């Protein structure tokens, strides 16, 4: 379980990068919190710097788009999903539970 930041520090429409290995991106989109691997599965770009529209994030380099709920790419050039991770809020603090550690490589 990795602490990210306080909930009030991640307003709706914002994202933050967590420096785990590999790094994780946490988004506050459509009233929910989502966490996915930060590095695009296409090439080398950080999805936390991407363009958020609804539950989709568009990669800032070649505009592949990923669904935050499933990690699945919705368009080229990405063809592989990003992993999704579980997010919880405890006492106002956002935590990420890495998929690998939970044994559910989603």
Q: How many residues bind ligand FES, per CB under 6 A?
A: 10
The answer to the question of residue 49 lying near another protein (CB under 8 A) is: yes
Of 6 and 51, which has the nearer Cβ to another protein?
51
Residues 20-79 that bind ligand FES (CB under 6 A): 40, 42-43, 45, 59, 61-62, 64, 77-78
Cα–Cα distance for residue pair 20/17, rounded to 1 Å:
9
Q: Whole-number minimum distance, CB 40 to another protein, in Å?
A: 11
CA distances from residue 69 to 27, 40, 81, 91 in whole angstroms, order as listed = 11, 15, 11, 24
**Do 18 and 12 form a contact (C-beta atoms < 8 A)?**
no
Cα–Cα distance for residue pair 22/11, rounded to 1 Å:
24
Binding site for another protein (CB under 8 A): 43-46, 49-51, 58, 60-63, 76-77, 79
């Amino acid at each position: 379980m990795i602490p990210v930041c306080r909930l009030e520090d991640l307003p709706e429409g914002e994202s933050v990068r967590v420096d785990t290995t590999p790094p994780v991106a946490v988004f506050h989109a459509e009233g929910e919190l989502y966490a996915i691997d930060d590095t695009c599965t296409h090439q080398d770009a950080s999805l936390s710097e991407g363009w958020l529209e609804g539950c989709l994030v568009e990669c800032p380099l070649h505009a592949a788009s990923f669904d935050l709920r499933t990690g699945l790419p919705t368009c080229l050039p990405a063809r592989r999903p990003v992993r999704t991770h579980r997010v919880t809020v405890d006492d106002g603090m956002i935590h990420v539970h890495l998929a690998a550690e939970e044994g559910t490589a989603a």
